[in-house]
Amino acid sequence: MSRRPTVRRTPTRVGRIALLSLLVLVVTAGPAAADPPGPTNYDSEVVAITPQVDGLEVQVLGGDAFLQVRNPGGHEVGVPGYAEGEQYLRFDPDGSVWVNLRSATHWQNSARYSIQDSEVPADAGPGQPPRWEQVSDDGTYAWHDHRIHWMSPSSLPGEVDPTSTDRQVAYEWPVPLVVDGETVEVVGTLTWVPPASPLPTVLAALAGLALAAVLLVTTTTTTTIAVLVGIGVVVTGAVGIAGSVGLPPGVQGQPFPLILTGVALLVAVAGLAVRGRTAAGGVVAGAAGIPLVVWGISQVAAVTAPIVPPAVLPSSFVRIAIGLAVGTGLGAIAAGLKDLFSRPLVPGGGEQAVADAGPVRPDGPGDAAMRGTT
């Protein structure tokens, strides 16, 4: 009696390498830049500059994340530090911008909620001679200014009632400047904004899952994964690119979301490319959904935050993108697992779907006779 060759369902070397690469990238990837603008319930805005200075522009970026000064030229602008007599920033008439590395304010502003005093270099302080380093050449610079935002991530200002559905002014803030030797005061307000509804994110996630369910029963695994990962890559890529380009000096982008988007795209392409030649191809392609799900989870704070960077995109778009990333990511994972467990392997190292292979024809008398003569 003849025995059919047995092909084990163990992943090939290509599959193992792809899965290991995905795991390493997803687990070890992280923010390379500290304190980029993030989702917030606070809206800080400039309401007055006294006296007015022609050409000087001051605005808040990222809800309450950064204070930006734009000095197109013609003025010499100084930004004092938090301590009396401390020189922090200098905007020269030629458009160059300089930061004093011996300013304690410079080091404190490196993090949204400041740093410990012990982390400030010993030679930084108001009594030290400045050591200037150029940080911009177009007259624009932005920085975390602790006067324009609430300094506690776990408590609310006493003026804020979190049960209210209205915007509430928390406090008014001043930031002094010195323009051409004269004192100029920038005044703004910090306003608490009530949370947004999570419904758009939930509905988007359900829509992604529903699309995955339809594709799983109406089309091929290749098409299913390509469509789901394609949607996830487009929406997450749009958010990542918008949050990483066109940033002024002093504002650092967040590379982690773009890394995840790139990993999803590369894993999907690699898996689909080898799907017909290895048992691991379909599941590797489906694993492209993992970084999409991780992307959505990493953005969870934006689900209910009313102000979500990047400013060039509506906050509602980001919330919908989060839901779509999770929904399509889970759908792609399901498609990969379905492919792994429902597609038999055939001799010769290849594989094909049951529907493509057709039923296995039993041996007939002629087949047995032929084998008997060999």
Q: Give the pTM.
A: 0.79
User: How much is the average pLDDT of 109-137?
Assistant: 87
How do residues 31-77 score in pLDDT, each as one tens digit? 333 367 889 999 999 999 999 999 999 999 999 999 999 998 789 99
User: How much is the average pLDDT of 251-265?
Assistant: 90
Tokens representing 81 are: 């530090």
- pLDDT band per the 50, 70, 90 thresholds, residue 341: confident
Tokens representing 193 are: 């904004």
Tokens representing 149 are: 């935002």
Would you state the pLDDT for residue 33?
31
Strand order of the sheet with strand 140-143?
Answer: 57-61, 66-70, 140-143
Would you state the pLDDT for residue 89?
97
pLDDT above 50 for 144: yes
Sorted by where each begins, the domain ranges of the chain are: 13-36+196-357, 42-192
Residue carrying the six token digits 């502003």: 109
Residue carrying the six token digits 């940080």: 135
User: How much is the average pLDDT of 14-42?
Assistant: 55
| SS3 at position 361 | coil
The residues pairing with 184 across neighbouring beta strands, listed in sequence order, are 177
- pLDDT band per the 50, 70, 90 thresholds, residue 199: very high
Would you state the pLDDT for residue 286?
94
Radius of gyration of the chain (CA): 29
For residue 63, what are the CA distances in angstroms to 91, 237, 249? 24, 22, 17
- pLDDT band per the 50, 70, 90 thresholds, residue 260: very high
Would you state the pLDDT for residue 343?
63
pLDDT above 90 for 166: yes
DSSP 65-84: TEEEEE--SS--EEEE-SST
pLDDT above 80 for 350: no
Question: Cβ contacts of residue 97 below 8 Å, gap of 6+?
Answer: 71, 89, 90, 91, 134, 135, 136, 137, 139, 140, 141, 249
**Cα torsion angle, 138, 144, 145, 148, sign:** positive
DSSP 3-28: -PPP---PPPHHHHHHHHHHHHHHHH
